[in-house]
Every structure is written in structure tokens, then in C-alpha cells.
Structure 1
Amino acid sequence: MAVPPSAPQPRASFHLRRHTPCPQCSWGMEEKAAASASCREPPGPPRAAAVAYFGISVDPDDILPGALRLIQELRPHWKPEQVRTKRFTDGITNKLVACYVEEDMQDCVLVRVYGERTELLVDRENEVRNFQLLRAHSCAPKLYCTFQNGLCYEYMQGVALEPEHIREPRLFRLIALEMAKIHTIHANGSLPKPILWHKMHNYFTLVKNEINPSLSADVPKVEVLERELAWLKEHLSQLESPVVFCHNDLLCKNIIYDSIKGHVRFIDYEYAGYNYQAFDIGNHFNEFADRVPLCHPGWSTVTQS
């Protein structure tokens, strides 16, 4: 088993083919070059048909006025006084409001306002391409438009899952099927590169100067973190996990279960892109496993002597 840089390296390793540092895998060469090019991600899906754009900016602290202006553009036949709204508060970085007229919400427009400064980490143009690509494969709702600081799309019928739902065999099988479907989306003959290292480098670049001094006793020095990242790339890149199209952020609330149609769909494609298949699977478990109590009913009790 591979070990961190601070520990002695084993003489042999059953899954690593190279035991000396690889100059091509050193941390920062490709990532720093990409960062200097406006922090754009590696090439993603091919550009799809143009999406309607409105030069409207929605105040994140007062969403409704801007949202209603967008609804006038998208649903001009709706009478303003009849438009109902519903806010969703589960999001971590973005703000979301639903606009509809009928009680059943069969025709419902979601207005999502980007979180402040999220463009430093999220490539919004690539997000739109990912949205359209997934829609073309029946894995995403309709994308109605983009605006200055957000986008509007179709409301997806169903309920967002909770950690306790994920453990149900009927549901985790549906999740596995949907993930497998997304993983089969091809890059039109090109050889995609995983976005993992680029994303990690961008994030590290943003936060390394923002580490709170009070955490200095718990957070390693920047130089140590950089060496660990280089070590991770050196060794994990050799595991030959297939590079496929991934969601990359499959937490419970990003999974919508439609009990009538008997399927699940994934939402929020900010971090979607080609990546290691093993990362998408592992990250899904990592997003919810620590949120279910160890004494959860139905779990086997493990005792240690």
C-alpha cells in the first residue's frame, strides 16, 4: 500500500508501477499553466446549441424582483399577480427559488443565483455545456436561459434524498444505474483528461493564503501540502481508473427520486466533467457516510475484543 511522503516508502508495491518521482507528474506543471490561462478547466464536452441569455442581474439578498423579471421573459403568458414562488434552502453556495402558477408545479421554472465569488472555482461556461450534454442524454432537466449571475431551468419532479434513504437497496440500485449511465457518455473520440488535479490546484491556490493563523497547529504548512498533492498525483495517476464523464458532487440533496416514474436523476452540474470513475463513486459515499449515526437501526453491531 502506498504511504504518505513523511513515512518510509516500501520496497515493493503491488499496484504501483513506478517507484521514482516522475518529472511529468510533479505538482504544478500542468496545473500552473492552466491557472495562468484564466483558470479554465481542461477541455470539456463539445459546445452545444446556444442558450438564451438575458442581461439581468438578480440580487442574491432579494431574489424575487429579479426572478419575476426573468419569468416575464420566459413565461410572458403568466400573469405576474398569479405567479407563486417557493424558496429552497438546502443549497450550500447558490440560492434557488421556484416560480410557478399551477399548484401541481408541472410547469415550474427554477431560478438559481450563483454564490458570491464562486466563479473563482467554477467554470460557468463549462457548467452550461455539461448541463446541455446531460440533457441530450436524458439525464438533466431543460435549461431555459442564463443571466448575469445565474441560470433558469426546469423543475424536476420528485424529492431530494436524505442519508437514511441512500441505504435502501431499491434506491441505491437506482443511483448506481444513473451513475453508470452518465459514466458512459463519451467525449466524441477525444481523450479526456481528469479534472481532479486542476480543480485541486485551483482550490489550493485560492485558500493557501487564507488559512486562519489560529489553525496553524492543526493545518500543515503550505510546503507540506504541496508535497502531499504532488505525491497523490504521482501515485493515484498510476491506478488506471477509467476517465469517464462524472458528476463529481453526488451528495444526497443532489439526487432526486421520482416515485411515480421509478427513477432517480442528479442535479447541480457545477463540478461535472471528465474524471476518474473511482473518484465519482468514492466521493458519493464520502458525501453521506459520515452523516448516518453508527447506531442507525438496521446496522449490524460490531464489537471489538
Structure 2
Amino acid sequence: MCGTEEEMREVAGRICRNYLHGAWKTVEPQALGFRRISRVARRSVLRSNSFTMDEPKKVLLRIYGQVHGERAMDAIVTESVIFTLLSERRLGPKLHGVFSGGRIEQYIPELSEPALSMKIAEKMAAIHSMDVPLSKEPTWLWKTMGKWTRTVREERLSENIHGKSVDFEKEVEWLKKFIATVESPVAFCHNDMQE
């Protein structure tokens, strides 16, 4: 979602009309309360003058932005599946809609309050103990580090870091051997609080 505020408002209004119910179905872009809360992750809070108790007055519109890389789309699909599971199990914000390029979530303005932080920590503990329908093979770390070491090699970044030569591939191999000696199970970890 880029461009002028008017263009963003138009796109946001169309998305909300398509995915939300009640007063959102007829909301005009000009009547939409619109506040961008993050430039990096493209999050916007939208507000409508809703009339019933069962529809949200405010929602968080999350736009993914451009997707790059060989596995970027897989990561977005996986994130959407995880978010949906957490929402259904009441371990995360309610999911109001998923669309190509983003999703509409429950807006929780109190996320930065200490009392809520404690509840979030409890939910995160529950999340990390979930058995989720994802691969249990510990491949993500090694694939990611492999990409990073290729980038370092291609960009010749390891040649001189503060006057020292670093062999990142050798460091990764050492780490693989070390982790193999530690008795630690592969577990699901959300790793992203988003706010």
C-alpha cells in the first residue's frame, strides 16, 4: 500500500468493504479514520462508526509489501497459517480477513501496557508448547545461514572485518557440530511479536 494518503485510504476502504461486515460494507474512504502505525511493516489502524456490538470499530490492516526471494511467498503462507491457528485458539488477535498481500486483524491498542505484557508472555508460553502442523526438521536455521554465507562470499564481506579475516562457513560448520552435541528438541517458536 503506497502512494498518497488518499490512494491508501481508497485501497483500505475497498479491502474493508470486501472482508468485513456491518457498517464496514458501506464505509466510504473519506469517512474512514486512518492512522499509519508503522512505516516498516505497513500497518494501519482503520476506524469506522460501527452500529452493532458484533462488528469491530477499529481494525489493524497489515500489508506485506513487496516479496523477494525464493522462499518469501512460502514464508507469507506459513505466517498466515500460523496467525490463523493462533487466532482460532484465542492465543492471538482475532483474524477478520486474509487477502492477497495482507490481512485484517483485531486492533489491540493496549499492547504496550505492562499488565497486558504479562498476559502476552503467558500466551507466548502456550504458543511455544503447541504442536503445529509444520515440518519438525531443523532445517530453517541451516538454510538461512547457508544463504547468509553465500552472500558474504559473493560480496566478499569476510575479507576484512576490523582487520580480521573471518571464515563464516567454518564458523557455521562448528555451530552445526556443537548443536548436535546439545540435547535440545526442535520446537515451534513464533519469534515475532509484530508490535
Normalising by structure 1, we get a TM-score of 0.49
Partner of 1:154: 106
Larger RCO: 1 or 2 (CA < 8 Å, sep 6+): 1
2:130 is the alignment partner of 1:178: no
Structure 1's 248 and 120: CA in aligned 2 closer, same or farther, altered over 3 A? farther
Q: CA deviation at 1:157?
A: 3.9
Structure 2 distance, partners of 1:119, 1:152, is 24
Quote the residue 1:70 is aligned against.
15
Distance 1:176 1:69, change over 3 A: closer
Cα distance in 2 for residues equivalent to 1:203 and 1:230: 13
CA contact (8 A) 1:121 1:203 kept: no
Counterpart position of 1:276: none
Aligned equivalents of 1:202 and 1:236: distance in 2?
A: 19
Preserved contact between residue 87 and residue 93 of structure 2 (Cα < 8 Å)? yes
Structure 2 match to 1:244? 187
Greater helix content: 2
Q: Does 1:110 align with 2:60?
A: yes
1:140 corresponds in structure 2 to 92
Matched ranges for 1:192-231 at <5 A: 192-194=136-138, 195-205=140-150, 208-210=153-155, 216-218=159-161, 224-231=167-174
Counterpart in the other structure of 1:303? none
Q: CA deviation digits over 1:209-239, x for unaligned, max 9?
A: 346x6x85217768x1111112112212331
How far 1:71 moved relative to its partner?
1.8
Deviation, 1:67, is 1.6
Do residues 83 (structure 1) and 32 (structure 2) align? yes
Distance 2:135 2:16 in 1: 40
> What displacement does 1:206 show?
5.1
Equivalent residue for 2:82? 130
* 1:255-282 per-position Cα deviation (integer Å, ceiling 9, x unaligned): xxxxxxxxxxxx47xxxxxxxxxxxxxx
Q: Kindly, what percent of the aligned residue pairs are identical?
A: 26
Name the count of aligned residue pairs.
180
Tell me which amino acid in the other structure corresponds to 2:89.
Answer: H
Question: Residue type of the partner of 1:149?
Answer: G
Change (3 A) 1:88 1:216: farther
3-state DSSP of counterpart to 1:132: helix
Please tell me the root mean square deviation across aligned C-alpha atoms, in Å: 3.4
**Judging changes above 3 Å, is the alpha-carbon distance between structure 1 residues 119 and 79 closer, same or farther for their aligned structure 2 residues?**
same
What amino acid is the match of 2:173?
A
Cross-structure match for 1:259: none
Q: 1:160-215: CA deviations, max 9, x gaps?
A: 36xxx6xxxx7775454222211121136x8712332233334444565346x6x8
In 2 relative to 1, CA 85–133 (structure 1 residues): closer, same or farther, beyond 3 Å?
Answer: same
Give the TM-score, by structure 2 length. Answer: 0.71
**Alignment partner of 2:43: what SS?**
strand
**Does the residue aligned with 1:145 lie in a helix, a strand or coil?**
strand
Q: CA deviation at 1:115?
A: 3.8
- CA gap of 1:116–1:239, structure 2 versus 1, over 3 A, is same
| Counterpart check, 1:98 vs 2:45 | yes
Q: Take 1:95 and 1:218, find their aligned partners in 2: how far apart are those partners?
A: 34
